[in-house]
Amino acid sequence: MAETRRNLLKGMLASAGALMLAACTPLSEQQWVVSALGEVENLTRRMQRLFAGHHALAPEFSKKDIAPVFRANGTLNPQTDEYAAHAAKDFADWRIEVGGLVERKLSLSMAELRAMPPRTQITRHDCVEGWSCIGEWTGAPLAPILAAAGPKPEARYVMFYCADPMGSSLSGDVPYYYESLDLLEATHPQTILAYQLNGQVLPVEHGAPVRLRAERQLGYKMAKYVQRIELVEHFSNINGGKGGYWEDQGYTWYGGI
Ligand SMILES: Nc1nc2c(c(=O)[nH]1)N[C@H]1C(S)=C(S)[C@@H](COP(=O)(O)O)O[C@H]1N2
Ligand SMILES: [Mo]
């Protein structure tokens, strides 16, 4: 059964995947690609949720499968004065704020995050650019953190705001990397705020001090340098309105693999 389902999804994704090989560079000039992906997206999302079950796990691997060097992509260092100051103090003062549609706002220090029961998972990262890497991630599962904050009934999405500015704009309104998941994906057992890669403190190029891992999703969903988490009812009023930095450039919001 599982094999049939996988092959079915693979077939459906193959056509989308071929189109996505040029990715992590803006696709906006290729509007036909974007609209084609949009149609595949809805179908794929429904299929995954119907057949893979809400909390089906992404495959996990063993130590021998770990890539000797985990490839880094996107921002490799946020290069702001603020980030440099945090790095100089080994991120001792870094905090993750949890707010928006919650009963209780939280402000978590790295020490508090590390004190929570951790989860370690060896998974394969798939970037739409057409490369994959297997690595071992350790971090705090997001579900208990969200539970502690207490999502209000209207909360549907979880926004992740990052510390890296993405280029400049004439208005002076510099967009920062950001991403979002729905509550189902955010509370999935393999969704963690990771602070270790392969048993080592998370390196700067991989999102130090803490980055999102949502293992059923594509690489661009895995926000690095996470500083703020916000629960919202919808994201149409946030930045470009599509739920993430790459989504605003035309990638699909649902990055299921
Ligand atoms: N803050 C931030 N998060 C990000 C990115 C980025 O540029 N900035 N790039 C995304 C993309 S496209 C990928 S493939 C992964 C790369 O993670 P890695 O550098 O640890 O391999 O991070 C994702 N998260
Ligand atoms: Mo990516």
Instruction: Please tell me whether residue 152 adopts helix, strand or coil conformation.
Output: coil
pLDDT at 138 over 70: yes
For the chain, the distance separating the N- and C-terminal CA atoms, rounded to the nearest angstrom, is 18
- DSSP at 149: H
199 CA to centre of ligand 2 in angstroms: 22
* Ligand 1 atom index nearest CA of 206: 20
* Nearest atom within ligand 1 for CA of residue 197: 20
Mutational pocket test of ligand 1: of 20, 27, 75, the residue with most ligand atoms within 8 Å of the beta carbon: 75
Predicted confidence band at 84 (pLDDT cuts at 50, 70, 90)?
Answer: very high
Residue 90 C-alpha to ligand 2 middle, in angstroms?
A: 26
- Cα–Cα dist 121/135, whole Å: 8
Pick the CATH number of 56-249 from 3.90.420.10, 1.20.210.10, 3.40.47.10, 3.40.50.450: 3.90.420.10
207 SS3 class: coil
With a pLDDT cut of 90, the percent of the chain lying above it is: 73
pLDDT of residue 255: 84
Count Cα atoms within 13 angstroms, Cβ side, for 33. Answer: 17
Query: Which has the closest alpha carbon to 221: 186, 181, 166?
Result: 181
| pTM of the complete model | 0.83
**For the residues 140-168, what does the mean pLDDT come to?**
95
Is the dihedral angle over the CA atoms 223, 160, 59, 253 positive or is it negative?
Answer: negative
More confident site: 1 or 150? 150
Q: For residue 257, give the amino acid letter.
A: I
- Is the pLDDT at 32 greater than 70? The verdict is no
Any idea which of 39-48, 55-64, 70-79, 175-184 has the lowest mean pLDDT? 39-48
Question: For the residues 203-229, what does the mean pLDDT come to?
Answer: 97
User: Looking at residues 237-250, what average pLDDT do you find?
Assistant: 94
Ligand number nearest to the C-alpha of 194 = 1
Give pLDDT, residue 5.
45
Mean pLDDT of the chain: 86
**Overall size of the chain counted in residues:** 257
Atom of ligand 1 nearest to the CA of 176: 1
